[in-house]
Amino acid sequence: KAGVTQTPRYLIKTRGQQVTLSCSPISGHRSVSWYQQTPGQGLQFLFEYFSETQRNKGNFPGRFSGRQFSNSRSEMNVSTLELGDSALYLCASSSQAGGGETQYFGPGTRLLVL
Amino acid sequence: DQQVKQNSPSLSVQEGRISILNCDYTNSMFDYFLWYKKYPAEGPTFLISISSIKDKNEDGRFTVFLNKSAKHLSLHIVPSQPGDSAVYFCAASRGGSNYKLTFGKGTLLTVNP
């Protein structure tokens, strides 16, 4: 079974631009979560989608948004990029709606904002 | 407010010895705890988990201990191997759900041959 895939793997943007990251979960998994990893803050939860609905959201500004498609693929969008948005963005998928199942992470998209 | 804390940014041990990674949490609502291992340029990989109804869970060389009264958990790796060298993240969730994990900042484990 193929793992979680994320595209692109690396991205360079400038301040003020917007960016869209993509995540394809493991086949059959319906839950996709997004995390931001920075050296100072570690891994922080952004949001989670299940069956095209955002079920949970972390403490990030509205510039961070996401969506999930009927095939469970998910996209994350960051508008008006700031230097502090430079990070590794990880998505994770799981098969159950919650409880007892672990998340499987993709390799991440490394975003650099100049 | 860091609800999950890994106070040791790094740890170095000799091959064959025990590695002990520690994690503290502040939110008493957390009831499910996980450890992930992360190599450079890869996403975190699930290692082992423990529910709050248990105080120990073992899987091969990896054992996780949970002390609820102290809000502390630890991961023991015995014996440590060079391939265990990675960043280890402690994570917690509440309500039995796994889709919103609160992570610690990680501990870099280096196992020296």
- The predicted-structure confidence for B85-113, as pLDDT tens digits, reads as follows 999 999 998 865 556 788 999 999 999 99
- Residues of B near A (Cβ–Cβ under 8 Å) read 32, 34, 36, 41-46, 49, 89, 91, 95-106
Residues above pLDDT 90, as percent of chain A: 72
- Within B15-100, strands assigned E span 19-25, 30-38, 45-51, 56-59, 62-67, 72-77, 86-94
pLDDT at residue B72, as a whole number: 97
> Which residues of chain B neighbour A98 with C-beta distances below 8 Å?
95-99
Chain B positions touching A50 (Cβ under 8 A) are 99
B85/B107 Cα distance (integer angstroms)? 10
Provide DSSP, A40-63: TTEEEEEEEEETTEEEEE-S--TT
Is any Cβ of chain B less than 8 angstroms from the Cβ of A99? yes
pLDDT for position B88? 97
14-53 of A, contacting B, C-beta below 8 A: 31, 33, 35, 41-45, 48, 50
**For residue A106, what is the nearest residue in chain B, using CA coordinates?**
B43
Contact between A95 and A40 under an 8 Å Cβ cutoff? The reply is no
Is B105 in contact with A42 (Cβ distance < 8 A)?
A: yes
Q: Is the pLDDT of residue B42 over 60?
A: yes
pLDDT over 70 percentage in chain B: 95
Percent over 70 (pLDDT), chain A: 94
pLDDT category, A16, cuts 50, 70, 90? very high
Strands, DSSP E only, in A51-114? 53-57, 64-68, 74-78, 87-94, 104-105, 109-113
Mean of pLDDT over chain A: 91
pLDDT value at residue A112: 97
C-alpha to C-alpha distance for B26 and A109, rounded to whole angstroms: 30
Q: What whole-number distance in Å separates Cα of residue B17 and Cα of residue B40? A: 23
Select from A41, A56, A100 the Cβ nearest to the Cβ of B100.
A56
For residues A112 and A19, the answer to whether their CB atoms sit within 8 Å is no
Residue A28 region by backbone torsions, left for phi larger than 0, else alpha for psi between -120 and 50, else beta: left
DSSP code for B13: E
Of A43, A50, A94, the CB nearest to B103: A43
When scoring A6, A21, A32, A43 by the number of chain B Cβ atoms within 10 A, the one with the most, hence best to mutate, is A43
> Which amino acid is present at A101?
E
What pLDDT is attached to residue A74?
Answer: 97
Check residue A73 and give its pLDDT: 97
| Tens-digit pLDDT profile for residues A82-100 | 999 999 999 999 886 654 4
**Range name among A45-49, A54-58, A92-96, A97-101 with the lowest pLDDT average:** A97-101
pLDDT of residue A97: 60
